[in-house]
Amino acid sequence: MSGIPICKRNSLLLRIGESLKSRKAEVLQANAKDLEDATNSGIDASVYKRLLLDESKLSGLLDGLRELAELGDPLGRVTLSRTLSQGLLLERVTCPLGVLAIIFEARPEAVIQIASLALKSGNAVILKGGKEASRSNAALVDVVRGAIAEEGGFPVDAVQFVSTREDVAGLLALDEYIDLVIPRGSMKLVRDVKAATRIPVLGHADGICHVYLDSSVDGEAAAPVVVDSKTQYPAACNAAETLLVHPGAIASGAVMVVGRALLKAGVTLHADAVCLSALKECAEPSKNENQPIGTVILAQQGDWDTEWLSLHMGVACVPSVEEAVAWINAHGSHHTDCILTQEDSSAAFFMANVDSAGVYHNASTRFADGFRYGFGAEVGISTNRLHARGPVGLEGLTTYKYTLRGEGHTVAQFSRGERAYAHYDHLDLARK
Amino acid sequence: MSGIPICKRNSLLLRIGESLKSRKAEVLQANAKDLEDATNSGIDASVYKRLLLDESKLSGLLDGLRELAELGDPLGRVTLSRTLSQGLLLERVTCPLGVLAIIFEARPEAVIQIASLALKSGNAVILKGGKEASRSNAALVDVVRGAIAEEGGFPVDAVQFVSTREDVAGLLALDEYIDLVIPRGSMKLVRDVKAATRIPVLGHADGICHVYLDSSVDGEAAAPVVVDSKTQYPAACNAAETLLVHPGAIASGAVMVVGRALLKAGVTLHADAVCLSALKECAEPSKNENQPIGTVILAQQGDWDTEWLSLHMGVACVPSVEEAVAWINAHGSHHTDCILTQEDSSAAFFMANVDSAGVYHNASTRFADGFRYGFGAEVGISTNRLHARGPVGLEGLTTYKYTLRGEGHTVAQFSRGERAYAHYDHLDLARK
């Protein structure tokens, strides 16, 4: 796989798209059967929505394949080029990771998205989808494997599919053969996978993101950012769960402006005693504005470590930016945390010391996303510290090797003083 | 730790050196006691040599500290700078990994080498040394912690020391607190550590490196490279263990030239039947050259998967460069493998398809080393595919975070079409 040129890999992606178009009826029929079974077994509306394949989702997949084909080649990039000594050239070149295992839940379109990412980056992939989407997944895998066979030059088994729960346990034991597991789904799925394997796992179990209102914050400017962080898509891992506030932001009234906006957006605020007394009047109906629809209640034990994933938010007062940072490092999940302030020194301290994949200043936590970062395609968001951290694009599916080209160079020549190290870096690296 | 400026970190390294000089007597006394105990319990000469601290080793440590202080800062390097949209700047900035646990065997100078690497890269480190060096290690740790306290501004507990076997089991269970384990020592140590922990382990268990003599190889040019790969330091992980030969290299006599040079260097060749018949005459004494001191014997089952670490080498015939690559990927340890050839197409195929951290053309496998690669300091050599691969320098002890600076940007503004993504890359990144 690592030797297949980028034009072939891109051509395969477009062929998968063509094949998906021409075999649409077959795919939709398989999906209809999955939907029928699911309806009979009484699934809820949100699962039905994720399970459903329709024209709009298929057309989104075709767009995605075309966009992915247009992205630069993640392989063969030279990230270091150094002459060690005359005639002895060291280079560091990106290459595929190897074999990926991806475990995902209801959404069948993940088959196409994941297989295309794997193929673009020269990796083989074993897919395990949700049971309720088994016919849809099988039809989509057949489309991909059919396209691989038609394109030629690729091993068809570069994309494989397993479907039972027992298969997963088997896969997770194959640490000698599988290089990376990517669970895409609920927090529970990610935790279970991490607990069950020695294979490196790329993902994040929790997304307990914070927004901190610093002393100098402007309430009117802050309110839309906090509301966006909390409510733009509350079920996402990058939605904010806890609002930390400096006493200065209470004194200035900024917290009240932000609180009113959150309540208006329907958020229930779980406030500590200090914030509760500042916020409770916000929850009162006012003549001059719309009735607030959220409420303010006293926070309970455990609230600061809760990923609400819904219109609830903790609100706590911290005495300083240093304490805010300490709080976030203790209660957060090292995902994405934001400071809202006009003071550069607070922002600099916050960003240097918060130990998270994303540290933001005056921007919504919801930006933590591969598409928004411009990675074109997203594998997932990692809260690991090793390998890839934060939103992971194609680059996270690669490793590198060192190539060394000599003219019969030996280490003994250097020991004997016949040759010397130069360590001269060539900086004109091939960049996308 | 991540906020301590580079001038302070470098100043601390130099202070450790000063302290090591002024407390030399104390350190050598502790070492003398370790040596005395070791001698009484009858250790062999090689362990004694590794355990011994003397003027020359201490002066090597001082040089190492000075060189490390002169290396560029691994932290705060901006590896991506992208305007996502007007006023919204994304940057990817390197930062420390966190807490390292290093488990090493007899050599006490590793305390200074490892602690200094960790401190330079802003990491905390927990050291576990060998029992036989316990007094020497304790004295050196005391020197380091004393220097940290004197320098000020660092937590003294950034460097900690544990010494019992039970402590190791405890450490390896702390996957929530320790970010990376680096075992430095025997293959067995690395294997045991890998089997006992969920913490990522940086290292390599085996170093089964290959040299492949391609059809067109020039025997006279190849011989010194093969001899260097095998004999320059046979106990090293980057020493070659198996020689693969193309039938063309037998027909041309190149294999015989190489074989004679290996035998002269005292290597015992474990040859397959084809190579045995080609090589056996090389082992005969000849009037025109020195008596060969190695011998040629028939290879046994298991030889191709053996890391000899001594003057033994497997020799096998493979029909083509494709088969050589397949052999290496099956029997090798993905460490460092080399092709000797004058043909660029063979070299290109070999380097693209051998799945190892180092793939070499016409250069000794012994170059696989952080110092030789110009990394200045070496943490170890990794055969992992994730994070760092090959020789690992300071860069391997860092991760990164994404910083995002906005002016109150929300994702909703983009959804509503009030703002658009630009994804404009700034390429003038700060480089060392």
pLDDT tens per residue across span B87-141? 999 999 999 999 999 998 878 998 999 999 999 999 999 999 988 999 999 999 9
Q: Is the ipTM of this complex over 0.90?
A: yes
Q: Is A364 on the interface with B (CB under 8 A)?
A: yes
A89: phi then psi, degrees, rounded to nearest 5? -110, 125
The secondary structure of residue A44, as a DSSP letter, is -
Q: Report yes or no: B364 and B225 within 8 Å, Cβ to Cβ.
A: yes
pLDDT of the residue at A194: 87
The pTM of the full predicted model, rounded to 2 decimals, is 0.91
pLDDT of the residue at B432: 36
Full set of structural domains in chain B with CATH: 6-202+379-397 (3.40.605.10), 209-367 (3.40.309.10)
The predicted model gives B27-35 an average pLDDT of 96
Distance (Å) from the alpha carbon of A320 to chain B's nearest alpha carbon: 17
pLDDT tens per residue across span B263-293? 999 999 999 999 999 998 887 766 555 666 8
Question: What token pair was written down for B401?
Answer: 């975070």
Distance (Å) from the alpha carbon of B329 to chain A's nearest alpha carbon: 12
> Has residue B78 got a pLDDT over 80?
yes
| Residue B244, SS3 per DSSP | strand
> Residues 168-197, chain B: which have Cβ within 8 Å of A?
179-180
For helices B110-120 and B6-22, angle between their N-to-C axes, nearest 10 degrees: 160
Residue keyed to tokens 């150094």: A82
pLDDT of the residue at A428: 67
- B2 contacts A402? CB cut-off 8 A: no
Rounded to a whole number of angstroms, the distance between the first and last alpha carbons of chain A is: 21
The secondary structure of residue B157, as a DSSP letter, is G
Torsion of CA B296, B297, B300, B303, to 10 degrees: -20
In total, chain A counts a number of residues equal to 432
- A404 contacts B358? CB cut-off 8 A: yes
pLDDT tens per residue across span A240-286? 999 999 999 999 999 999 999 999 999 999 999 999 999 988 877 66
- B228 contacts A411? CB cut-off 8 A: yes
pLDDT of the residue at A431: 45
pLDDT tens per residue across span B307-347? 999 999 999 999 999 999 999 999 999 999 999 999 999 99
Question: What token pair was written down for A202?
Answer: 């790329």
The predicted model gives A80-93 an average pLDDT of 96
Q: Report yes or no: B258 and B244 within 8 Å, Cβ to Cβ.
A: no
Q: How far apart are CA B388 and CA A401, in angstroms?
A: 10
Out of B221, B366, B389, name the one closest to residue A399 (CB).
Answer: B389
Q: What is the CA radius of gyration of chain B?
A: 26
Average pLDDT, chain B: 93
Residues 6+ apart with CB under 8 A from A263: A269, A282, A283, A292, A293, A294, A295, A296
Q: Report yes or no: A209 and A365 within 8 Å, Cβ to Cβ.
A: yes
- What is A341-401 written as a DSSP string? -S-HHHHHHHHHH--SSEEEEEE-GGG-STTTTT-SS--EEE--SSS--EEE-GGGGEEEE
A116 by Cβ neighbours in 10 Å (0-12 / 13-18 / 19+) ranks as: buried
Q: Is B411 on the interface with A (CB under 8 A)?
A: yes
Half-sphere exposure of A250 (CA within 13 A, CB side): 22
Q: Report yes or no: B35 and B57 within 8 Å, Cβ to Cβ.
A: no
Q: Is A5 on the interface with B (CB under 8 A)?
A: no
For helices A6-22 and A134-151, angle between their N-to-C axes, nearest 10 degrees: 130
Out of A403, A410, A412, name the one closest to residue B351 (CB).
Answer: A403
pLDDT of the residue at B161: 94
H or E element at residue A245:
strand A240-245
Q: Is B412 on the interface with A (CB under 8 A)?
A: yes
At A80, the pLDDT band (50, 70, 90 cuts) reads: very high
pLDDT of the residue at B103: 92
Q: Is B399 on the interface with A (CB under 8 A)?
A: yes
A311 by Cβ neighbours in 10 Å (0-12 / 13-18 / 19+) ranks as: middle
Distance (Å) from the alpha carbon of A277 to chain B's nearest alpha carbon: 27
Q: How far apart are CA B37 and CA B29, in angstroms?
A: 13
The predicted model gives A349-371 an average pLDDT of 96
Q: How far apart are CA B300 and CA B298, in angstroms?
A: 7
Q: Report yes or no: A177 and B177 within 8 Å, Cβ to Cβ.
A: no
Distance (Å) from the alpha carbon of A367 to chain B's nearest alpha carbon: 6
